[in-house]
Amino acid sequence: MRGPHNLWRLIRTGATFERTGAMRVVLEAMNAPPRLRFAARVLGWPFAWLGVRGDPALPPATRALTALGPAYIKFGQILSTRPDVVGDELAEQLRYLQDKLPPFPTATAKRMIEDELELSVDEVFSDFSDPVAAASIAQVHSARLAESGERVAVKVLRPGIERAFRRDIDAFYFAARMIESLLPATRRLRPTDVIAHFEGVVMGELDLRLESAAASEFAENTKGDNGFAVPEPRWHLSSRRVMTMGWVEGVPLGDNAALDAAGHDRRVLGARVLQLFLSHALRDGFFHADMHQGNMKVTADGHIAAYDFGIMGRIDEYTRKVYAEILFGFIRKDYRRVAEVHFEAGYVPADRDMEAFASALRAVGEPIFGMDASRISMARLLSYLFEVTERFGMQTRTELILLQRTMVVVEGVARSLDPHINIWEVARPIVEGYIRENVGPRAALRDVGRTVQVMARFGPRLPQMVEAALIRGSEPEAPAEPARRAGPLGWLLLGAALMGAGVWVGTLL
């Protein structure tokens, strides 16, 4: 229930970060200003005893996130791909969240499989292992099909995971509404809409039938991609809480030492990860939106194999063209064109100064153009980008959240493989190829042809549609609902709650 009782959950979030020592570690790793560190300490210290203790054997940040639950773990997984933002040490600690969380008993997993599939595990599988990987939502077992002897991966949702996520999301909604009421400047970030988007993504991830469908579509789209592999689902052994798919044998993409020992060229792999993501996003409009190291392996023949398709992103053709033109403008250092595309797409309000925006974009692009990743401070870059969005009144675009988030994650993965990667040079052939095929006179003629086809289908119905639109336009508008005002709260509890909300508000950026 989305009520004031969620205030307690936010207080507990901040208290847990303080009690486990994670607050200090995270703020130091992200080079937070001294005033912010002091404020967090003052607000957190009185409430530390209310926090969850967590597993003392884990490092502070990992300990706090695992104690708080699956929604917080998801955020930690994103940070684990950005050592340039949180530091190498903290990023390495957070990789624990990708696939090494405490598993639930194998006997429980077998029981769930039998209930879901209405089949005996011992009859279907000749061998069924203990968990080989465990993450926030599910765990994976290695098994062999009794009928064919084929090795497969069996993914089983954690018991009660739907309820746990619902509890966290309800608290997030409460925090978003509180922030919007108390801090009007944050409304351009659309916190409530962002949480609604996050809810839709997560709820879809909790239905493994949808993940099976995503895996099947992704495998079909990418079957011609050189150096990339996607295991396909076994539909007859998959359901809402269980998914069976082909087994991927290989070296985890996050284990650099093992990759080097196996003779893989990490520079090639880093470039391939970035180019594959761009190809899928631009060419297909359907991409893997959870591409951290825990969801990819390198096979013996050097192919990158992806799995875990619970979070997939889609972008329409128009958005793909906008995204490609923005990237292409940066690659060509044509900041005026990048600014124009932002205005044309409505990403920047029309009343802002385009020339000033182009200058701001130049300040973003010039310091990093041509540089390898080791010389770029992503933390400072993200900070400046946030300043730019605030200065020019840019609102959060919920339809682009997955694309933007995945780009940040993928670029972080590529950096971890090759610290000297030049992202612009790697992206250039993919973006230029898309621009050649989809932007220009030939593409415009193709678009006109498609429009004519659609209009032809609706031709017989156009008179009725126009008449209905005119009737609707003549009806009086309903009075707007008066704005709701936030009621008063105790300042001490409010400060603690805001501190808890601040732990996850970084997901909005």
Indicate which residues carry an active-site annotation: 290
- Give which of 175, 196, 173, 186 is closest to 389, Cα–Cα: 186
Instruction: Tell me which DSSP letter residue 376 carries.
Output: -
Instruction: Tell me which DSSP letter residue 480 carries.
Output: P
Establish how many alpha carbons lie within 13 A of residue 381's alpha carbon, considering only the half-sphere containing its beta carbon.
17
- Give which of 116, 301, 133 is closest to 212, Cα–Cα: 116
CB-CB neighbours of 459 under 10 Å: 9
Structure token pair of residue 426: 């790697």
Residue partners of 71: CB distance under 8 A and separation at least 6: 165, 168, 169, 172, 202, 504
CB-CB neighbours of 430 under 10 Å: 20
Residue 469 one-letter amino acid: A
| Pairing status of strand 228-229 against strand 304-306 | parallel
Burial of 437 (0-12, 13-18, 19+ CB in 10 A): middle
Cα pseudo-dihedral 239, 241, 247, 248, rounded to 10: 130
Distance of CA 484 to the CA centre of its chain: 32
